[in-house]
Chains A and B, each alone.
Chain A
Amino acid sequence: MFSAQTLEKFAREVGKYPADQKQSAIMACLAHAQAEKGWLPAEAIEAVAAYLGMAPIAAWEVATFYNMYDLQPVGKYKITVCTNLPCALSGGYHAGEYLQQKLGIGYGETTADGKFTLKEGECMGACGDAPVFIVNNRSMCSHMHPEQIDKLLEECE
C-alpha cells in the first residue's frame, strides 16, 4: 500500500510516542499517506489503522475530523485560501474571488484538467501576511495580491 520511504516515515513517527501509544502517530501517518497518494482513499486509512493497531472507524474519525485530510481526490495543486476575518479585512475574500475567476472554478471544485483544486480555509495563523494561501498543505504563500497570484499559478507546472 505504501512506499518504503513512507513506511520509514511511519516508523519514525511511531518512535515519538511511548511504546503502548502507537495510535498517537495516526495524524502524522495519515498526513504522510496523503502526501504519497495525493489524497486519502479509505483503503489508505484502513492500512494506516492496521499499521497502528487501531479500529478502522477510529482512524476514520480522525481523518474526518481534521480538515486538511482530503477524503476525495484533489487536483495536482490544492490551493487553500484563508477567508477568515483578519485575512478578509486585507483581501482574503477578494483574493479568493480573483482565483476563482482565473481558474473558472468555485471552492471545493477542481479544474477540468485536474490541475487545481480550490478550498476555503480557516485561520492559518499568519494573519499579518494576509491574504494567505496554502498550497498542498505544505507551503504557505503570503501577501497574495493579484501579481503574486498570477506568479503562483504560473509556477504551478
Chain B
Amino acid sequence: MAMLGAINGVLMAGLDGDKGWRLKDYVGRGGYVQLRRILENKVTQEAVIDEVKKSALRGRGGAGFPTGLKWSFMPRAFPGDKYVVCNTDEGEPGTFKDRDIMRDNPHAVIEGMAIAAYAMGASRGYNYIHGEIWEIYQRFEEALAEARAAGFIGQNILGSGFNFELFAHHGYGAYICGEETALLESIEGKKGQPRFKPPFPASFGLYGKPTTINNTETFAAIPFILNMGGEEYLSLGKPNNGGTKLFSVSGHVNRPGNYEVPLGTPFATLLEMCGGMRGGRQLKAVIPGGSSAPVLPADVIMDCTLDYDSISKAGSMLGSGAVIVMDETVCMVKALERLSFFYHEESCGQCTPCREGTAWMYKVVHRIENGRGKPEDLDLLNSVLGNIAGRTICALGDAAAFPVQSFIRHFRSEFEYHIEHQRCQVPREVQWAGSGFHRIPA
C-alpha cells in the first residue's frame, strides 16, 4: 500500500488505509450527511453550485477547470436524460491518487456524484474505472450495492423524489480514455477516440445527452466542501487555488505515496514529507504534474510552491498532481525514450499528427538512446513536436510534445553527449543503484 501522509488532510482525513472503506465506516466519519441535508432541506440546485463555486475547487484531473463553473454549464431545464460521469481512468504516468481515494473512501465519490447529479438535474451516472485496478473496480461495485441498499442512490433517494442511478464501467487498457470525450465514446461501447469539440459534453455528451465529467478527487472533495463551507475550503489553499490536493509522489524519494497538502505548499516541504531523496542522492529533475507536464530541473522546482499558478509560471503544469522525482542516476534520454514510447503506444490513431508524429519522435529518441543519433536529430525533434502540438483533436498530441520539448530544453547536453559518443552518460550499474532494485542479473 502506498504511504499516506497529510497536513490538513480533508479527503483522506480519518482514513486508516483500506480497512475502513465500507458504508458504515464512511457514515461513521460523517458521510452522506451532506446528501441527506440537501435532500431533506430541499436546498436549491443553485445553492449547491454556488457553494462549490465559492470553494474555488478546480478540476483535479489535470486541466484545473473551475468545477462550479463547469456545473453551471449544464442545461438544467433540458428535458430527458442527463448524465454525470466520474473519471477514474487514472493512467497518467505518475498519478495514483484516485486509486487510493477509491480504495479507502469510495463512498465519498458516490456521495459527491449524487450531490453533483442533484445540482445538475442528472438522473444517471457512470464511474469509469481504469481497467488495471480491477480490485478497486470490484470494491466500487460493492460500495454501490451498499449505497443502493441504504437508499443513497437509486429511485426516490431518501424519500425526496430525486432519482440517481449510478453504475461502474471499467476500462481495459487505454490511456486515452482518461480524455473525457474518449471516455464517453468508450462508455458507448466504441474505441476510445476523442471527439472534436465543440460540441462540448455539457450539450452533447454521453449518448448525445448533456453530460458533466469530473475527476474522482473532484467528486470526492464535494461532501467535504459542503461540510466545511466553500469559503473555508478555499482558505485552506490560496486564492484561485482552493483547498487541499492530493499529490502522488513517485520515483527517487524514500517514501513514495500520496500526500494531501494545501495548495500552495512549497515543493521542498512535500519532498521532506516523503522522507527526502532516496539514498541521499542529488535531486536532478521533477515532472510536477504527471508525465504530460514539462520537466523542471532541480533548481527551478525547489523554488516553486505546489499550486496551479506557481507551477504554470515556472513553465510546467500542476496537472493531476503527479510528482515524478528523478535523481542524478537518471539518464534523461532513456527517461524520455520511455515516455515517448508511451505516448506513441497510447495514441488513439485518429489524428494524423499524433498517430504519425508520436511514432516518429519515439523512433528518433530511441535511436539517440541506442547510440545511433545524428547531430540534426534534436532540431528535427523540435520541429516535429511543433507540428504535433496544437494540431490534434485532443491534448494527447500536446502531452506527447511537452516532454520531448522540455527534456531537450533543460538537458540538451545529455542528448548531445549521446549523439556525439554514441552511448549513455550514466553507467548501467549506476542506473540500477538508483532504481533501488536489489539484484543485478549476471
Contacts and interface: CB of A to CB of B under 8 A. Distances in A.
Direct contact of A and B (CB under 8 A): yes
B298 to A, nearest CB: 15
A111 interface: no
A87 B291 CA distance: 12
B251 interface: yes
- Identify which of B98, B126, B186 gathers the most chain A CB atoms within 10 Å of its CB: B186
Contact of A61 (B1, B126, B190): B190
Contact of B326 (A26, A89, A125, A139): A89
Interface string B120-158: 000010100011111100000000000000000000000
B346 A24 contact: no
B174 A131 contact: no
Interface in A12-57: 16-18, 21-28, 30-31, 52, 54
B93 A127 contact: yes
Contact of B437 (A27, A86, A131): A131
B170 A66 contact: no
A86 B93 contact: yes
A90 B251 contact: yes
Interface residues of A, number: 58
B338 A125 contact: no
A155 B197 CA distance: 49
Contacts, number: 197
A30 B190 CA distance: 12
A112 B227 CA distance: 59
Nearest to A22: B189
A123 B93 contact: yes
Contact of B207 (A21, A94, A97): A21
- Chain B contact-residue range equals 35 or more
Interface string B307-332: 00000000000000010111000100
A85 B291 contact: yes
Interface string A100-130: 0100000000000000000001111111111
Contact of B175 (A28, A61, A122, A130): A122
B55 to A, nearest CB: 26
B337 to A, nearest CB: 10
Interface string B188-205: 111110000000000000
A76 interface: no
Contacts of B330: 89
Contacts of A16: 126, 167-169
Given A90-B437, A94-B437, A125-B99, 4 more contacts: A24-B169, A52-B189, A128-B249, A134-B134
| Smallest CB-CB A-B distances: 8 pairs | A91-B437, A23-B189, A68-B173, A128-B2, A94-B437, A127-B250, A86-B250, A67-B173
17 contacts: A26-B189, A65-B192, A66-B172, A84-B339, A85-B338, A86-B94, A86-B251, A89-B435, A94-B437, A121-B132, A122-B91, A123-B291, A125-B90, A127-B93, A128-B257, A129-B256, A134-B132
